[in-house]
Amino acid sequence: MDRETVTFALPTGRLLNESMELLSVAGIDIEPLRNRGRRLVLKGESASFVLCKPWDVPVYVEYGVADFGIVGNDVLWEVKRDVVEIADLGIGKCKMILAIADGRRIDNFWGLKVATKYPNIALDFFSMKEVEVEIIKLSGSIELAPVVGLADAIVDITATGRTLRENGLVVLEEIASISGRLVVNRLRYKMFHRELSSVIGVIERVVK
Amino acid sequence: MLLRLPYGVKDEMPEDMYQRKEIEDIAFGIFERWGYLPVSPPTFEYYDTLALGAGERLKKQMYRFIDRDGELLSLRAEFTTPIARMVANKFGSFVPPMRFFYFGKVYRFFPESIHHKREFYQLGAELVGVDAPFGEIEILNIFIALLKELLGNEDFFVDVSHAGFIRGILDRAFKDPFNREKVKSALLKKRFVLLEEILDGASLTSDEKALLLRLPTYRGNGDMLREVESGDFPEDSIRAIKELNRLVEFFKPLGDMINVDLSLTRDIDYYTGIVFEAFSCKKGLPLGGGGRYDNLIKNLGADYPAIGFALDLESVKWFVRARVHDIRKQGVVLNLSGDGSLDTLLDVADRIRKKGIVVDITYFVSRGELDKYVEFRHPARTLNFLKNVVEVRYKDSIEKVQEDRIYEWIGKL
């Protein structure tokens, strides 16, 4: 390969600590990540790291500035980038759910107002059910929407369900299981799969 | 006021057009010498015709609209289907093999990705009426010849696969077309975690499952193919592998330029045999590709085997320098100042153009304005027609030539 080390795009936020732990168990030198301060590009012995927003991890990998990325399949599903999804890392496990206000009765989904950070996932989900709904894109605190009457329901991720409960919401349907995935650049994987296989192999052995 | 353009389309500036011309000239020459004839189907035609050749994915990417008489039309999203229609309808009197090439724009719409390009310029060729392996050999040879000429070196590689290999596995394992589509879609989108979930419980041999889940790693040469050949795969798949192997064997002298990549899945459904795609080594960019489509023309009304390819102009453009553009730099600007003779100027312009030199004419009275234009335009020479005298500027020197001596001066050009 052109470069001597591989580059990982890692998501800042809830997946970062678990990703670091996993890479460290896999024997990848993550010392630079521990002492990163505020730097976003870090070089280690066996790998380099780029820290970016979870939504951007597939972008960095698609354009090949990173060979690998770690990112949830919620993001992969929503942004639909051209990357190879190689392994389920089993980290950052949670569920994509459809939730409504507790006590609210819903007979059918027609014309439902749905607040979400994931408009594409919501659209896919409801078009699978062959109903048309109104989707309201929000950037955060999705649980708020049914409470204040902005929407009838939400499509969001939940790990323990605590935020839902505390805001008086109940899960109506589980849409998908979400977890951290290892993704790799399409052409790098094609051209250098032998070189990349060793990295993939050690990570997979840790996961399994 | 900046008038906006819709996303996914762009204006092509003179530099772009010169580059395109350069590429077209090179391609035209090669195609012609290989016995291919130019054709150009219309930009839009009936959706039903174009959809005959398109898979589900491409159908969703096609622009559809209603004609004024209520008919459903579509912009062409690729050239192979309309050319197949021409072959089926228009070339009945031709004796195969038939060879065609084309240049032009195709239009596609990507519902899942706003900001995606929507207008593409393609050039390509179709070889009709030649079976495997001769068709494959000719098309790959001309494809490689064209890329060598365009890229100016050997900075590219071609990956080949066979559409029948994966099809064979899926046809045997999944009787339900819905499930088959699900697997194909996961393979195409390279979602291997999802694929593992779908394949769980499917009636696949362990060899098939292992291969599908690690498909991108099945890239290599004949050795890899021989390994696959001894595995537990359906007969159709083994036949595809053997055909692929013979082709790779034939192209062995080209070394690393030709590789097998079993994960190569072109996102058009009509391919029946060998498929291929070229990539630039340095940029890692896909350049274009093609494959064999033996049933497409039959579906349109005449039974011919066929194989072809298309190149995306935008991706080869990086490598092509617009040589034509230099002609302009060697050009001459003729300026008619207030009291110069228009007749003489036009006569001089004609004589210089006959030498194959670019001439453009300006009408500046003020020297300042002429200077400004010359600085912008950068001609090799500027001739300013004044009263009875022509001021000739070449680099930093200015020479005054009497108007009646100017023809003599042109002779020296």
Measure in Å the smallest separation between the Cα of B224 and chain A Cα atoms: 13
User: Does A187 contact chain B (CB < 8 Å)?
Assistant: yes
Question: Which of B185, B192, B265 to mutate to probe the A interface, most A CBs <10 Å?
Answer: B192
User: Does A157 contact chain B (CB < 8 Å)?
Assistant: no
User: Does A147 contact chain B (CB < 8 Å)?
Assistant: no
Q: How many whole angstroms separate alpha carbon B264 and alpha carbon B266?
A: 6
Q: Tokens for A148, please give them.
A: 């204040």
Tell me the pLDDT tens digit for each residue of B307-344: 999 999 988 887 776 665 677 788 999 999 988 999 99
Q: How far are the Cα atoms of B47, B289, B328 from residue B120, in angstroms, in the given order?
A: 19, 14, 27
pTM, two decimals, is 0.83
Q: Mean pLDDT across chain B, nearest whole number?
A: 90
Tell me the pLDDT tens digit for each residue of B33-83: 999 999 999 999 999 999 987 877 788 899 999 999 999 999 999 999 999
Of B113, B193, B261, the CB nearest to A80: B113
CB B401 within 8 A of CB B392: yes
In sequence order, what E strands does B293-338 have?
A: 306-312, 332-336
Q: Which residue has the higher pLDDT, A208 or A87?
A: A87
Long-range (24+ apart) CB contacts under 8 A made by B138-145 are B138/B34, B139/B290, B139/B307, B139/B308, B139/B309, B140/B247, B140/B251, B140/B258, B140/B276, B142/B30, B142/B31, B142/B34, B142/B36, B143/B276, B143/B278, B143/B290, B143/B309, B144/B254, B144/B257, B145/B30, B145/B34
In the block, residue with structure tokens 């394949």:
B199
Measure in Å the smallest separation between the Cα of B137 and chain A Cα atoms: 24
Of B112, B216, B284, the CB nearest to A80: B112
Of B191, B216, B279, the CB nearest to A189: B216
Cβ neighbours of residue B155 closer than 8 Å, sequence gap 6 or more: B280, B281, B282, B319
Do residue B112 and residue A76 have CB atoms under 8 angstroms apart?
no
User: Taking Cα atoms as reference points, which of B21, B203, B26 lies closest to residue B121?
Assistant: B21
Q: Tokens for B219, please give them.
A: 């890239």
Confidence of residue A121 (pLDDT cuts 50, 70, 90): very high
B261 neighbourhood in chain A, CB within 8 Å: 190
CB A86 within 8 A of CB A47: no
Q: Which residue has the higher pLDDT, A195 or A22?
A: A22
Which residue on chain B is closest to A193 by alpha carbon? B217
Confidence of residue A119 (pLDDT cuts 50, 70, 90): very high
Give the residue-averaged pLDDT of A127-144: 91
Q: How many whole angstroms separate alpha carbon A175 and alpha carbon A133?
A: 16
Cβ neighbours of residue B87 closer than 8 Å, sequence gap 6 or more: B98, B100, B126, B128, B297, B300, B302, B304, B306
Of B112, B190, B284, the CB nearest to A64: B284
- Is A40's pLDDT higher than 90? no
CB B273 within 8 A of CB B163: yes
Confidence of residue A1 (pLDDT cuts 50, 70, 90): very low
Tell me the pLDDT tens digit for each residue of B136-153: 999 999 999 999 999 876
Of B159, B191, B279, the CB nearest to A85: B191
DSSP structure string for B341-360: -HHHHHHHHHHHHHTT--EE
Measure in Å the smallest separation between the Cα of B116 and chain A Cα atoms: 12
pLDDT at B344: 94
Count other C-beta atoms under 10 Å from residue A166's C-beta: 9
B158 neighbourhood in chain A, CB within 8 Å: none
pLDDT at B402: 92
A-to-B residue pairs, Cβ atoms closer than 8 angstroms: 40
Tell me the pLDDT tens digit for each residue of B268-314: 778 999 999 999 877 667 899 999 999 889 888 889 999 999 999 98
Give the residue-averaged pLDDT of A115-129: 92
User: Does A204 contact chain B (CB < 8 Å)?
Assistant: no
Residue type at B107? Y
Confidence of residue B11 (pLDDT cuts 50, 70, 90): very high
User: Does A87 contact chain B (CB < 8 Å)?
Assistant: yes
B192 neighbourhood in chain A, CB within 8 Å: 84-87
Do residue A190 and residue B261 have CB atoms under 8 angstroms apart?
yes
User: Does A46 contact chain B (CB < 8 Å)?
Assistant: no
Tell me the pLDDT tens digit for each residue of B233-267: 999 999 999 999 999 999 999 888 999 999 887 76
Measure in Å the smallest separation between the Cα of A114 and chain B Cα atoms: 20
Measure in Å the smallest separation between the Cα of B306 and chain A Cα atoms: 28
pLDDT at B322: 62
Q: Tokens for B67, please give them.
A: 């004609």
Measure in Å the smallest separation between the Cα of B35 and chain A Cα atoms: 34
User: Taking Cα atoms as reference points, which of A50, A91, A45, A83 lies closest to residue A206?
Assistant: A91
pLDDT at B112: 67
Q: How many whole angstroms separate alpha carbon A57 and alpha carbon A62?
A: 9
Of A73, A84, A88, the CB nearest to B216: A84
Measure in Å the smallest separation between the Cα of A57 and chain B Cα atoms: 16
Count of residues making up chain A: 208
pLDDT at A2: 45
A177-186, B318-327, B387-396: lowest mean pLDDT where?
A: B318-327
User: Does A93 contact chain B (CB < 8 Å)?
Assistant: no
Do residue A76 and residue B191 have CB atoms under 8 angstroms apart?
yes
Measure in Å the smallest separation between the Cα of B208 and chain A Cα atoms: 17
B193 neighbourhood in chain A, CB within 8 Å: 73, 85-88, 181
Q: Tokens for A24, please give them.
A: 């460290």
User: Does A53 contact chain B (CB < 8 Å)?
Assistant: no
